[in-house]
């Protein structure tokens, strides 16, 4: 009789960059890998704003997880939302989309759940100011942007028209800067000759940031260049302001002196702040570790949890050496966790070297022919920065068809200012019923 040996069970929570790279690192290992994600696709988050602004389709930035991992014969995918971890029994509890529950046993657990949008204790803002972390968010924002121009076209008076043509963005990081630039390009180039009543180019884009600079993480020099480019596009920058209220008709902000101002805007987009999802808190309670202010989980130098060498935490949700929440950090930490586990399974007794992040730089797209790139001491902006931005994003897009589709879409947009992906469903994406807008 032939003996059957049960392979080591590895559960990976999250199919983003960290989870995907961890699964890839385990491809040839004698383990059974289960990737659990609430979505059935891997999403290229850095280009979500291009989907929301109509440059790229959702299929160009999202690929089915099963397709991406189809050649990884030891990997299975489960569509579910992890809700709890029983560290004693080594079980992950998860909820299926239909409400059913699952129990997934593990010998090793890799946590790669990423972060979600934070409203700093004001979750009621979410109904009026969507964030941009998921594909649903991007499509919702696309609806809101293009619907605003349509609503302005049939507005009954000038005040209502101005409110529809005013876009308020909260947060001056890469996502806020990229969205602000895109909306100004849509108004000034894509839609400039398509309406009969309104002047689309007159649309106002307001960007609110609590610090003194946009793109502060890129350093003072690039931050100043980015600010100059945004102002040249017509974006109104409001630095040193904190949003205190958001509703269906606009935002209220407080400046450094404590003065509160009101800005009427029918479209408010939130790009400020992130926090860990609930499963991170459940894991922290189960293992006795203390999360940081954003809910990140502190890890050992080898990305394991103190006292739990069978659990590794990767990507945005890990707290280690103040590493930023960048896609490259997620990729490298996921790959490291997968390799470390593979070496352990193969019987290599040598303790793995501590995780060391190699900073390959940061990039932010502002408008056609304008981007900022920071790679160590090398700072690029303008056209040269834009070409480097193109190369970086093409290199990391998942799948040949995604790269080819992105190149074709970018070529059309950059050459003609047209955007092919402008379809939206007008029945979704607005404020809740009774919030000042008919549904």
Q: For residue 58, how many other CB atoms are within 10 A of its CB?
A: 17
Longest CA–CA span in the chain (Å) reads 84
CA 321 to CA 299: how far, in whole Å?
A: 10
Q: Nearest Cα to 114, choosing from 211, 2, 16, 180? A: 16
Q: Positive or negative, the Cα torsion across 68, 70, 73, 74?
A: positive
Distance CA 2, CA 378 (A): 60
Helix (H, G, I), strand (E, B) or coil at 308: strand
The DSSP bridge pattern shows strands 108-111 and 8-13 to be parallel
Nearest CA-CA partner of 269 in 179, 362, 395: 179
Considering 58, 150, 178, 437, which one is annotated as catalytic? Answer: 178
Euclidean distance between CA atoms 234 and 180, whole angstroms: 10
Neighbours of 347 (CB within 10 A): 6
CB 287 within 8 A of CB 304: no
What six digits make up the tokens of 182? 């895109």
**Residue 140 φ/ψ, nearest 5 degrees:** -65, -45
Distance set, CA 24 to CA 75, 109, 348 (Å): 9, 15, 19
C-alpha–C-alpha distance, residues 334 and 1, integer Å? 39
Enumerate the β-bridge partners of residue 250. Answer: 247, 264
Beta bridge pairs of residue 235: 205
- Please give the structure tokens belonging to residue 267: 């479209």
Known catalytic membership, residue 178: yes
Tokens matching residue 229: 């480019």
Among candidate residues 194, 201, 55, the one with its CA nearest the CA of residue 138: 55
| Residues with catalytic roles | 178
């Amino acid at each position: 009789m032939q003996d059957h040996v049960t392979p080591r069970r590895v559960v990976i929570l999250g199919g983003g960059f960290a989870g995907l790279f961890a699964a890839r690192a385990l491809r040839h290992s004698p383990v059974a890998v289960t990737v659990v994600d609430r979505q059935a696709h891997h999403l290229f988050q850095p280009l979500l704003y291009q989907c929301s602004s109509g440059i790229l389709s959702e299929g160009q930035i999202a690929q089915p997880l099963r397709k991406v991992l189809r050649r990884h014969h030891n990997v299975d995918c489960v569509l579910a939302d992890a809700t709890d971890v029983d560290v004693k029994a080594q079980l992950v509890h998860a909820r299926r989309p239909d409400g059913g529950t699952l129990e997934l046993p593990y010998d090793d657990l890799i946590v790669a759940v990423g972060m979600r949008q934070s409203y700093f204790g004001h979750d009621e803002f979410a109904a009026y100011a969507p964030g941009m972390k998921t594909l649903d968010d991007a499509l919702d924002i696309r609806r809101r942007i293009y619907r605003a121009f349509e609503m302005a076209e049939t507005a009954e008076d000038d005040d209502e028209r101005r409110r529809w043509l005013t876009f308020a963005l909260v947060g001056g990081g890469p996502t806020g800067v990229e969205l602000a630039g895109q909306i100004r390009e849509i108004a000034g180039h894509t839609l400039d000759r398509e309406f009969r009543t309104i002047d689309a180019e007159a649309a106002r884009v307001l960007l609110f940031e609590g610090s003194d600079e946009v793109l502060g993480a890129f350093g003072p020099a690039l931050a100043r260049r980015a600010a100059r480019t945004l102002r040249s596009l017509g974006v109104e920058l409001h630095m040193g302001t904190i949003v205190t209220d958001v509703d269906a008709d606009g935002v209220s902000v407080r400046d450094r002196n404590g003065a509160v101002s009101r800005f009427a805007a029918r479209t408010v987009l939130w790009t400020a702040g992130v926090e860990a999802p609930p499963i991170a808190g459940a894991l922290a309670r189960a293992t006795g570790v203390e999360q940081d202010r954003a809910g990140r989980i502190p890890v050992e130098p080898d990305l394991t949890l103190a006292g739990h060498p069978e659990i590794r935490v990767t990507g945005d949700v890990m707290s280690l050496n103040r590493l930023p929440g960048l896609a490259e950090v997620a990729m490298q930490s996921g790959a490291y966790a997968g390799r470390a586990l593979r070496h352990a399974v193969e019987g290599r007794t040598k303790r793995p070297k501590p995780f060391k992040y190699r900073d390959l730089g940061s990039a932010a797209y502002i408008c056609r022919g304008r981007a900022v790139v920071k790679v160590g001491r090398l700072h690029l902006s303008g056209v040269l920065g834009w070409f480097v931005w193109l190369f970086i994003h093409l290199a990391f897009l998942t799948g040949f068809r995604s790269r080819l589709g992105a190149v074709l879409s970018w070529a059309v947009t950059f050459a003609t200012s047209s955007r092919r992906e402008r379809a939206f469903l007008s029945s979704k994406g607005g404020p809740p019923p009774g919030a000042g807008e008919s549904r």
